[in-house]
Every structure is written in C-alpha cells, then in structure tokens.
C-alpha cells in the first residue's frame, strides 16, 4: 500500500493496490496545472485510490472535455486527474509519502514540451499519448 497527502496535510489518501505505469507528461495543460515543465504521474486503478481524510477540501476542474483534475482547495496541491470514464486515476507522484522503487518510465506529449526544457535522460519519448 502507498500513502500520500497534499502540501498542507488536509487531504490524505491511500493506494490499496498496485501502481501502474508512471510517466512524465509534457502537454501544455499538465505544465499549467503543475506550474512546471511537466507533471509526474502514475496510473492507479480507480477502485484502489481511496481518500482517507480531507475529502471536503477537494475541488475539481474540468480542464478539457475528457480531463478532470482534482486538487486541495486549501493549499492548491494537485492530487490526481481522471480522463473520461476510464476506471483509473493518474496520481501526482510528488504527493506520495511512501518511497517508490522506480520513477516514471516514459515522456509523453514531448511534441508540446516547454521550449526552455531539455530532456537529458534515455527514457522513451512519445510525441503524444502512446498507443496501446
């Protein structure tokens, strides 16, 4: 099991299952939502993601017709996002409190990455969302 929380500690969550693929997303919406060059996300089955404290402090924003982003209304920490009606969430890796054995394995949406950021690792890069 993994645990996580927001910056102010109001929102706490548990991941009661396996972590799925993790990736760095360079799309313009993730850049704006994170305030950085990319967002670090890990896919988790929706049924395994459980808010254990602070649910009343969560707010959501529909950033596109298919994407809903959820954050703490007290401190602004992005917690997770959900795309369409998929039975999964994308948890912001920076909110995890438990150690991870590995980080993201891919860069996605590099066709729209920030001009001022250079990727200096050997991870696979995808122009948009990988197929499959």
Question: Three-state secondary structure along 82-124?
Answer: EECCCCEEEEEHHHECCCCCCCCCEEECHHHCCCCCCCCCCCC
Pairing state of beta strands 2-5 and 49-53? unpaired
Residue 33 CB neighbour total at 10 angstroms:
19
pTM summary value: 0.90
Specify the pLDDT at position 132: 55
Those residues whose C-beta lies under 8 Å from the C-beta of residue 65, and which sit 6 or more positions away, are none
Instruction: Round the average pLDDT of the chain to a whole number and report it.
Output: 94
Specify the pLDDT at position 84: 86
**pLDDT higher than 80, residue 131:** no
Specify the pLDDT at position 107: 96
Q: Rounded to an integer, what distance in angstroms lies between the CA atom of residue 33 and that of residue 77?
A: 10
Domains, the chain, in order of start with CATH, read: 2-21+39-97 (2.170.150.70)
> Over the stretch 105-116, which tens digit does the pLDDT of each residue have?
999 999 999 999
Q: Rounded to an integer, what distance in angstroms lies between the CA atom of residue 46 and that of residue 23?
A: 18
User: Does residue 102 or residue 109 have the better pLDDT?
Assistant: 109
> Over the stretch 38-57, which tens digit does the pLDDT of each residue have?
999 999 999 999 999 999 99
Q: Rounded to an integer, what distance in angstroms lies between the CA atom of residue 12 and that of residue 52?
A: 6
Specify the pLDDT at position 6: 97
Q: Rounded to an integer, what distance in angstroms lies between the CA atom of residue 58 and that of residue 126?
A: 32
The model's confidence at residue 85, banded by pLDDT at 50, 70 and 90, is confident
């Amino acid at each position: 099991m993994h645990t996580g929380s927001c910056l102010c500690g109001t929102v706490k969550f548990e991941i009661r299952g396996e972590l799925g693929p993790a990736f760095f997303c360079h799309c313009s919406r993730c850049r704006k939502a994170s305030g950085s060059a990319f967002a670090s996300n890990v896919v988790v089955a929706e049924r395994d993601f459980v808010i254990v404290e602070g649910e009343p402090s969560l707010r959501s924003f529909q950033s596109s017709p298919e994407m809903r982003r959820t954050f703490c209304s007290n401190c602004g920490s992005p917690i997770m996002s959900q795309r369409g009606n998929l039975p999964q969430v994308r948890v912001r890796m920076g909110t995890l409190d438990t150690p991870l054995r590995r980080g993201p394995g891919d860069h996605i949406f590099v066709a729209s990455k920030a001009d001022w950021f250079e990727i200096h690792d050997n991870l696979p890069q995808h122009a948009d969302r990988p197929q499959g």
